[in-house]
Amino acid sequence: MEKDSSPSVVACVPAWNAQDFIERTLISLAAQSYRNFRVLISVDQSTDATTEVCERFAAKDKRFEVLRQTRRLGWIGNVNALLQRAESDYCVFAFHDDTLEPSFLSELAAALKTNPTAVLAYSDMDISYLDGSLKKVSYCAPDNVSDPGARAQSIFRREDAWYVPHRGLFRTSIGKKIGGLRKHLAGEFSADQPWLIHLSLYGEFVRVPKVLCHKHFMKGSLSLKWKYGPCHMSALGLACATEVLRAKVPLLLRLRVLSAFLIYGAKWLIFRRANLRKPAS
């Protein structure tokens, strides 16, 4: 059989207490039209049947491998454990409450391959909420997509659906260069934002303008439990700035991005204080 010369892809599936939905995620991965890929599933000390569901599925498809964690890692630790194990050209975080269209990997891999300066390719997505409603979301990169400072600032200002690229296909070497996601002073709160900012400093984000990813909010979804108070947002801002400092990019670029962060952060604090002082109507 002729060896597949297309870029290799690893889909990383961090799983925890996901027995009610994860099989649908795995089915959508198994149905991908892209050939040269494998799936790594890391089950993080689940108290339900997640491990058994995943291992039954993997037993029927040699492209799937299940890792059993021996201690509780949490969301970030589980994601990073998968990234460390990934040996491929491209990588994607396929979360246990997402489903993907069959052409997801094919279209994103093609976008990365034809854009050598890009570090990530992503699609639009839709979100199913607990009340049954459905919303399409997309992230439109700044007009000057070649400017890493503009990309980083857009994500820092949380423009559009800034989180959508987190479900994109990225170059594995860059993900490992960054070192994965990190906890900060507010724990795991919005840890994908500092990660995306760091990633954006290394290259372009390419959008495939069609819905190829479907997110499903569940009762136990982690992001539904997050609090968006001033302390959490301040800790997050500090984490974003720290990732800029860590980035192995020219010093002048880092200083320009940090200056923009500080100006925006100061405006946000002034606006918040002004609103707090307004008398209640």
pLDDT in tens, 120-162: 999 999 999 988 899 999 998 765 567 899 999 999 999 889 9
Are residues 115 and 92 located together in one domain of the fold? no
Which contacts (CB < 8 Å, 24+ apart) does range 243-246 have? 243/178, 243/182, 243/194, 243/195, 243/197, 243/198, 244/152, 244/197, 244/198, 244/201, 246/178, 246/179, 246/198
Clarify whether residues 77 and 202 are in a common domain: no
Do 261 and 178 share a domain, yes or no? yes
Q: Which two tokens stand for residue 190?
A: 């919005």
pLDDT beyond 50 at 1? no
The C-alpha atoms of residue 233 and residue 189 are separated, in whole angstroms, by: 9
Q: Are residues 261 and 213 in the same domain?
A: yes
- The answer as to whether 162 is a domain residue is yes
| Distance from C-alpha of 114 to C-alpha of 111, rounded to nearest angstrom | 5
pLDDT at 2 over 60: no
Q: What is the CATH number of the domain that holds 26?
A: 3.90.550.10
Quickly state the pLDDT bin for 280 (edges 50, 70, 90). very low
Positive or negative, the Cα torsion across 42, 204, 181, 74?
A: negative
Residues 122 and 224 in one domain: yes
pLDDT of residue 269: 65
Say if residue 130 is in the same domain as residue 143.
yes
User: What's the rounded Cα separation, in Å, for the pair 28 and 165?
Assistant: 19
Helix (H, G, I), strand (E, B) or coil at 247: coil
Residue 39 structure tokens: 């799936």
Q: Where are the beta strands (DSSP E) in the chain?
A: 9-15, 37-43, 64-68, 90-93, 98-100, 118-128, 134-137, 169-171, 204-216
> Among residues of the chain, what percentage have pLDDT more than 90?
78
Q: Within 10 A of 182 (CB to CB), how many other CB atoms are there?
A: 17
Residues 147, 32 share a domain: no
Average pLDDT over every residue of 48-66: 96
Give the angle 160-166-133 at the CA atoms, nearest 5°: 60
- DSSP secondary structure code for residue 3 in this structure: P
pLDDT value of position 130: 87
Last residue of a domain, one of 96, 130, 164: 96
Q: Are residues 91 and 106 in the same domain?
A: no
Both 50 and 177 in one domain: the answer is no
Cα–Cα distance, 20 to 65 (Å, whole number) = 20
- Most confident range (mean pLDDT) of 86-95, 140-149, 219-228 is 86-95
The token pair at 124 is 């639009």
Counted domains in the chain? 2
Q: How far apart are CA 170 and CA 165, in angstroms?
A: 9
In a domain, 235, yes or no: yes
Residue 121, domain member (yes or no): yes
Kindly state whether residue 1 falls inside one of the protein's structural domains. no
Please compute the mean of the pLDDT values over residues 64-88 and round it to a whole number: 95
Residue 183 predicted with pLDDT over 90: yes
Q: 281 lies in a domain?
A: no
Instruction: Identify whether residues 77 and 198 lie together within a single domain.
Output: no
pLDDT at 143: 58
Alpha-carbon distance of 46 to 52, in angstroms, equals: 10
Domain co-membership, 78 together with 215: no
Residue 2 in any domain: the answer is no
The answer to whether the CB of 156 falls within 8 A of the CB of 264 is yes
Q: State mean pLDDT over 18-32.
A: 96
Residue ending a domain, choose from 29, 64, 96: 96
Contact indicator for 185, 98 with CB cutoff of 8 Å: no
Percent of the chain with pLDDT over 70: 90
pLDDT (0 to 100) of residue 144: 55
Q: How far apart are CA 95 and CA 127, in angstroms?
A: 13
Q: Over 60: is that where the pLDDT of 223 sits?
A: yes
Please check whether residue 256 is in contact with residue 149, taking contact to mean a CB–CB distance below 8 angstroms.
yes
Q: Which has more confidence, 220 or 50?
A: 50
Which of residues 72, 96, 120 is at a domain's end? 96
Question: In this structure, is residue 3 part of a structural domain?
Answer: no
Residues 175 and 269 reside in one and the same domain: yes
Average pLDDT, the chain: 90
Q: In this predicted structure, what is the pLDDT of residue 189?
A: 93
Q: In 10 A of CB 128, how many CB atoms?
A: 16
CA distance 278 to 163: 32
* Banded model confidence at residue 266, pLDDT cuts 50, 70, 90: confident
Q: What is the mean pLDDT of residues 176-186?
A: 95
pLDDT for the residue 228 = 76
Q: Which domain holds residue 62?
A: 8-96
